[in-house]
Amino acid sequence: MKPTLLLLSRLPDSFITRLREHFDCHSYSLLDDKRLMELAPTVRGIVATAESSVSGVLIARLPALEIISVLGVGYDGIDLEAARVHNVCVTHTPEVSTEDIADFAIALLLCTARQILNADGFVRRGEWAVGRHPMTGRVFGGRMGIVGLGRIGRAVALRAQAFGMSIAYTGRTPKADVPYRWCNDVQALAASVDYLVVCASGGPDTHGMINAAVLAELGHCGVLINIARGSVVNEDDLIEALRTRKILAAGLDVFCNEPNVSQALLALPNVVLTPHMASSTQATVQAMLDLTLDNLAAHFAGEPLLSEVQLTAIGRTCSEVLP
């Protein structure tokens, strides 16, 4: 018999077709409580995305659950402690999206600092015929601060080097294999840079890390870029900093309540908003789908997993909050 899977999120039809060749698949959103109770004893796997929430309550309701395969890099929506207690392995799809996310961070930085969207509107409204667009800040040679120098943070730094930027970062400890300047906390980092790029993992340890105090240190010429998790930034503090021009601008690909974006953010002219699309290239999404399926196939074949989340130490070490 095919192992039973619970599909927690909306997935491409072509991918569901591939899954059904090997598994008995059920969409969680289509199940009422009665049907879920009937199905629960047979569910051996969950397929989720980085935006999914897999609670300890749900894990406890599935006594046969063996694996949670996450389509995406982030897994802060998974109750890792519950997974560890119930001996459920968790996999995700790291590395395959690193380059695309780093590219997108630089795209957001250029778009915000050089006011590209405002300039586009300026041309479309016919204002160019009246006068020149206001001057913008320079990116080349600027100072970049990176919050979390993991895979993505390092890839962003590599790109920033091509722009002649000086690079500083914050993390748990200094890294011996990089030439960048280390700051022991995010507030000190913000005070010393022009562009602050958030690459840290989500979760309780980083919740609201970028707050009013950090933004005040970034200053009225500073730009914030977030391609990590919406929860890392205190959104109310950011809105106030943008509204009062305590910082120059922000570029956001992630939000606290996706896909619902704050009306206050939507009303601001000095923020660029994109729909959590940094990793959404055809090449990366296909690689994520393939790795998600490969992890499931390996597990049920009794073979080593390709990208397992280590659950032996729950907390900062496990989640790599600030690598």
Q: Give CA angle at 10 (17, 254), nearest 5°.
A: 135
DSSP label at 303? P
Give the DSSP H/E element, type plus range, for residue 110.
Answer: helix 98-113
Quick one: how far is CA 37 from the chain centroid?
33
Q: Which of 155, 170, 4, 184 is nearest to 73 (CA)?
A: 155
Provide the token pair at 110. 């250029």
Indicate if the alpha-carbon torsion angle 16, 318, 89, 65 is positive or negative.
negative
Query: How many CB atoms are located within 10 Å of the residue 302 CB?
Result: 6
Provide the token pair at 3. 């192992």
Q: Which of 220, 223, 213 is nearest to 246 (CA)?
A: 220
DSSP label at 135? P
CA 320/CA 171 separation, integer angstroms: 10
Catalytically active residues are 229, 258, 276
**CA distance readout (Å), 231 to 145, 259, 282:** 19, 13, 26
CA 169/CA 146 separation, integer angstroms: 5
